[in-house]
Structure 1
Amino acid sequence: MGSVKRITKELAELTQSPPEGITVELAEEGDVYNWKIHMEGPEGSPYHKGNFLVKLSLPTEYPFKPPTVSFVTKIYHPNVTNDDKGSMCLGMLRADEWKPSSKIAAVLQFARQLLSEPMPDDAVEGRIAEQYKNDRPRYEEVAREWTRKHA
């Protein structure tokens, strides 16, 4: 039950003083393991003015196992899968890199930071990563287009 206590505490902190551009709520009242996150596209990124719905699922073994972060809103990004899952590839969320001391706030800030600075070398969408590296203007154009259409 320690996990529920910790999750509730982190949720309270995030609700009272959320990181910039991020709002957090429970997906369903009474279920502390599933969160709905609204993330604004950061200024200066092709996602600016977009509002993305992100799902955060916490395992019952949290904080010893990492949460899963996925974009509900479609997004054109090298680190987010282009399927209906929208899984985000974050180094810090890998089981072997996760630290129980990590906080959900840090995960969310890192996820939003990734919108400004994609990591093409850690990509799940190789084609988008290639485009990001080799044809940045086209990548930004498509990312902006998707943001207008979906976010």
Structure 2
Amino acid sequence: MTELQSALLLRRQLAELNKNPVEGFSAGLIDDNDLYRWEVLIIGPPDTLYEGGVFKAHLTFPKDYPLRPPKMKFITEIWHPNVDKNGDVCISILHEPGEDKYGYEKPEERWLPIHTVETIMISVISMLADPNGDSPANVDAAVSN
């Protein structure tokens, strides 16, 4: 996968999201000249602690996307077991592909090149609604849930 191919793929995914928005989030480029840095706005899912909130996050894609996952960081402060205190999101879908050296995750739960910004965001919205307390990034938030 060349950098050109990854840029074309990201451009296509952005165009698709602009044409067919997905409920619960919106996405765009932080800087129009950089396809590898996106800003997303997530609407707090209904019937959760986050309902009514709007949370800003950044997605930073590697140059070899989709072979490797992007990093996701909340810019808006959020208290959640699967978001560390720096705002970094810790969920299986964003973990490097392959075997988990700790044995917690199956390879198919981790990053796969078939994932898109849409599938990532649906997973993050699902994580907000249903935290994974088994492997918290923020232990204090996990304990208080």
CA distance in 2, matches of 1:22, 1:16: 14
Offset at 1:80?
A: 0.4
1:25 matched to 2:38? The reply is: no
Q: Which runs of 5+ in 2 are unaligned?
A: 98-109
2:131 aligned with 1:128? no
Correspondences of 1:44-55 after superposition (within 5 Å): 44-55=47-58
- What is the TM-score normalised by the length of structure 2? 0.86
Residue 140 (structure 1) aligns with: none
AA matched with 1:2: Q
2:94 equivalent in structure 1: 93
Residues paired across the two proteins, number: 130
Aligned residue type for 1:79 = N
CA shift for structure 1 position 122: 2.1
Which structure dedicates a bigger proportion of its chain to helix? 1
The 4+ residue runs of structure 1 with deviation greater than 2 A are none
Partner of 2:102: none
Give 1:18 shift.
2.1
Letter in 2 for 1:91: S
Task: In structure 2, give the amino acid aligned to 1:113.
Answer: S
Q: Pick from 40, 54, 63 the counterpart of residue 43 of structure 2.
A: 40
Provide the rounded CA distance (Å) in 2 between the counterparts of 1:16 and 1:44: 28
Q: TM-score scaled by structure 1?
A: 0.83
Q: Distance in 2 between matches of 1:59 and 1:18?
A: 24
Q: Percentage identity across aligned positions?
A: 30
